[in-house]
Chain A
């Protein structure tokens, strides 16, 4: 079998080598159809892909939060079920927003020793939000936040004039029995988030700490924070709010619809996501139309070229048949040639695409960040394009080969 395959490709290659100008034209024709399609697909994947990647990297775009109605409570089982859903990247309980408001004051005494300080008012009112490992906003810092640690948004840190390692004092107040009761406890700044992660006046802490602050507001005793007055606080059975991040911006709409269907009104950045995804969809549709037309043209051109080529080679095929090459060979011969030309054409197209992509990316260098590209295709995409080209070349070749396999050898030999 191997000897037969070797002989088949020996014959196919010998013919292409001798008639190299025609073979070259066919390779150029294949590359000429395939290269623009690859560049278009590369632009679609590069430009729109980069836009989508950027949106995906911004946790705020994937955020789904319930609108504050007070009509829902979310227990631990609900959070466990949500966390298990494949389209959910991270979900975290949230306490009442007003209960989470605290004042932070820069600790002047410790500032010079444990952390750097800068200009700033030295005090800030922040929203205290719970975080945990896996939180896309706090990233790797979440693990470092214990009962005495806090992660600050860039804006909050700027207002306080602190950097990582600084000590701050948290202040909260409650009214119990008509009497105001203040609470103050120290916190260490574990990290300061980049501005693009959170643009608000936010401080992130562990859920027990945030829960403790809410318990204090509710008049409960919170010994961990030094508030001993009031009834002892029990473990929280449920929460009024949550902070949920979809795995991708493509999951946001479906998740929001799911919540709406269950009577939970949610807020998302759907409008901004939709405009990008619509652009992506429309470009894909345009690309598909262009690709379909190009492929149809390619198939017609390849079929006509192969048919003409085979008509021209009928006498050669007749001689092959005379010398012992049966119908299987006569079908396989154009198929092998089509395979060789399609593979070389695909390689030429991939090389041309690489050149075009480098030029395009160089042109847009100032608009794209490191690791991003305006025009890009991965190896699997290029392999898929080559496989499609191969299939679209082999099918007409096989059809033509089958049509020509019953060659009338005697007539072809006498026609010379």
Chain B
């Protein structure tokens, strides 16, 4: 048993747009090193919002517990730092601290790649490493070769195919060797033959880097074929509910 990297308990996010109200309740969510899960469910059930909560770009309305316990910099792999109270940071409005936590410990793959259009493929991949002040290119070159995008380094995102953009986005998410990879429907814009290959590549590279992986997808069967643990996002009476307890997680204090 191990301590979770991400630990949420009774975390609620509510928002309203006119008469439309949305409520997401994450009753329990833990993520341990090496976990690979797929958040599945119908459209509008809160999968992407859950990912936004995990990636610290959306504030919970309230939370019983929302802590991150990420690997300590400069220590042996597996040594975790003291837990960070994410909810407290949101309450303090410490957005830059949250951005710094995200940069240091998380990689994010967007549905359409989410590459910066004015940066070359190489600079997109190095984006987070440069923000963190890490030596460049570091492992990015090997990663780009593994993902088959090394030859595209000087091109702009608009000059490469959608499938290549997704692989560049995966390279960017992994280039700074984060502890957690978050991917929001990374294969939604790909044709099925590419989708399976991309999903497997993402899973394999995350596993190779010993990063935990959370993927939002509509494709339940693809998730299962890739070997991800499927977590259902259920829509209930007035709220969407997510519950996942990592099998590796030891009981929270």
How would you classify the secondary structure of chain A's contact residues: helix, strand, loop or mixed? helix
Task: Convert B103-146 into 0s and 1s, putting 1 for each residue whose CB lies closer than 8 angstroms to a CB of A.
Answer: 11000101010111111100100011011110000000000000
- Given the interface contacts A324-B99, A327-B96, does A413 sit within 8 Å of B123 by beta carbon? no
**B131 CB → nearest A CB, Å:** 4
Contact of A18 (CB < 8 Å), options: B48, B118, B130: B118
**A325 interfacial contact with B, CB 8 Å:** yes
**B58 interfacial contact with A, CB 8 Å:** yes
**B102 interfacial contact with A, CB 8 Å:** yes
**A73 interfacial contact with B, CB 8 Å:** no
Q: Is the CB of B99 within 8 A of A321?
A: yes
Q: Is the CB of B117 within 8 A of A18?
A: yes
In the complex, what distance in Å separates the CA atom of A410 from the CA atom of B112? 14
**Which of A6-14, A51-59, A64-72 is the contact stretch?**
A6-14
Chain B residues with Cβ under 8 A from A409's Cβ?
57
In the complex, what distance in Å separates the CA atom of A344 from the CA atom of B116? 25
- Given the interface contacts A7-B130, A10-B123, A406-B95, does A322 sit within 8 Å of B55 by beta carbon? yes
**B169 CB → nearest A CB, Å:** 10
Chain B residues with Cβ under 8 A from A319's Cβ?
110, 114-116
Task: Convert A11-23 into 0s and 1s, putting 1 for each residue whose CB lies closer than 8 angstroms to a CB of B.
Answer: 1001101110000
Q: Is the CB of B95 within 8 A of A410?
A: no
- Given the interface contacts A4-B133, A324-B131, A327-B95, does A316 sit within 8 Å of B57 by beta carbon? no
Contact of B96 (CB < 8 Å), options: A18, A326, A410: A326
Q: Is the CB of A326 within 8 A of B156?
A: no
Contact of A14 (CB < 8 Å), options: B119, B133, B172: B119
**A46 CB → nearest B CB, Å:** 43
Q: Is the CB of A14 within 8 A of B118?
A: yes
**A98 interfacial contact with B, CB 8 Å:** no
Q: Is the CB of B132 within 8 A of A322?
A: no
In the complex, what distance in Å separates the CA atom of A319 from the CA atom of B116? 7
In the complex, what distance in Å separates the CA atom of A396 from the CA atom of B95? 24
Chain A residues with Cβ under 8 A from B73's Cβ?
none
Q: Is the CB of A325 within 8 A of B58?
A: no
Q: Is the CB of B131 within 8 A of A410?
A: no
**A226 interfacial contact with B, CB 8 Å:** no
The 4 A-B pairs at the shortest CB distance, nearest first, are namely A324-B103, A324-B131, A326-B96, A18-B118
What are 19 A-B pairs at a CB distance below 8 A?
A3-B130, A4-B133, A7-B130, A14-B118, A15-B118, A18-B117, A316-B117, A316-B118, A319-B115, A322-B57, A322-B110, A322-B114, A324-B103, A325-B131, A326-B99, A327-B95, A327-B96, A327-B99, A329-B131
B-binding residues in A (CB < 8 A):
3-4, 7, 10-11, 14-15, 17-19, 316, 319-329, 406, 409-410, 413-414, 416
Q: A15-B118, A323-B172, A327-B96 are in contact. List 13 more A-B contacts (CB 8 A).
A: A10-B130, A14-B118, A14-B123, A319-B110, A321-B57, A321-B99, A324-B104, A325-B103, A326-B96, A327-B95, A406-B95, A410-B49, A410-B57
